[in-house]
Amino acid sequence: MKRRNCLALTACLGPPLPAFAVPAKRSLVGFTENLPPLNYQDESGAAQGFSVELLRLMARAAGLSLELQVMPWQRTVQMAEAEPASVLFSLTRTPEREAQFQWVGPIAQRRILIYKLARRSDLKLNQLSDLGSLRIGVVRDSAADRQLQASGLRPSVQLEHGLDDATNVRKLLAGRMEFVALLDWAAAWNMRQMKLPYATLQPVMEQDASRSYWYGLRPDAEPALVKRLQAGLDALKRDGRYERLRQRYFI
């Protein structure tokens, strides 16, 4: 009798709800390059850096799972274009790129300085036209490299190209060039990695401080998602966590 009653009750209630009736957690895929200390791949292959940690906090606040991939820049751009739920970073926000993304940020100011070794009191540089036969180290094909070449500096003559910032700093320390162009964060980071005081380097002029780094989502990303990520970043800046995180990488 009890068996028949149970079957009748089941018939009235209908079949059990499928397992997927509870919505799955939304996911986001972040694509970035090696640009320490903002974003880079550590020895274990994991994504690290200020922008990476910041995005993790933002995704958590927005209720999103986050997958991160670090690869060469051109590859990151291609992968982000092919992935619907993607975020590309750290992007310099320019007028040319404005319509290509929905923007969340800023992450940090992009301040490129020309440095010399502090012990080289004989070196002066007030403007690029004063460089003469001296040389500036810069990462090949970087935005700073393109800007310096646009200013009239010649590769292999006044510009010493390197694969990355660390290579250029080592060349500067070895006396293979007189100056180096670095993001201020990267200068501090590389000195720390080499166990040298930041005061080993001395800025002599500002190359560019007119831009900032941002996160870029696809133009067809849901506006609500963009707003949630921006709200998460704004909250981190208000409650002090952004500044505490920044100090870990810059100071």
First to last CA, the chain: 76
Q: How far apart are CA 219 and CA 171, in angstroms?
A: 41
Instruction: Place 251 in a pLDDT band, splitting at 50, 70 and 90.
Output: low
Contact, 47 vs 32, CB < 8 A?
yes
Instruction: Place 18 in a pLDDT band, splitting at 50, 70 and 90.
Output: very low
Percentage of the chain with pLDDT > 70? 90
pLDDT above 90: residue 220: yes
pLDDT tens digits, residue range 92-120? 898 889 999 999 999 999 999 999 999 99
How does DSSP assign the chain, residue by residue?
-HHHHHHHHHHHH-SPPPGGGSPPPEEEEEEE--BTTTBEE-TTS-EESHHHHHHHHHHHHTTEEEEEEE--HHHHHHHHHH-TTEEEEEEE--TTTGGG-EEEEEEEEEEEEEEEETT-TT---SSGGG-TT--EEEETTSHHHHHHHHTTPPBTTTEEEESSHHHHHHHHHTTS-SEEEEEHHHHHHHHHHTT--GGGEEEEEEEEEEEEEEEEE-TTS-HHHHHHHHHHHHHHHHSSHHHHHHHHHH-
pLDDT on residue 51: 98
pTM for this predicted structure: 0.76
pLDDT, the chain, mean: 89
Contact, 32 vs 76, CB < 8 A?
yes
pLDDT on residue 161: 94
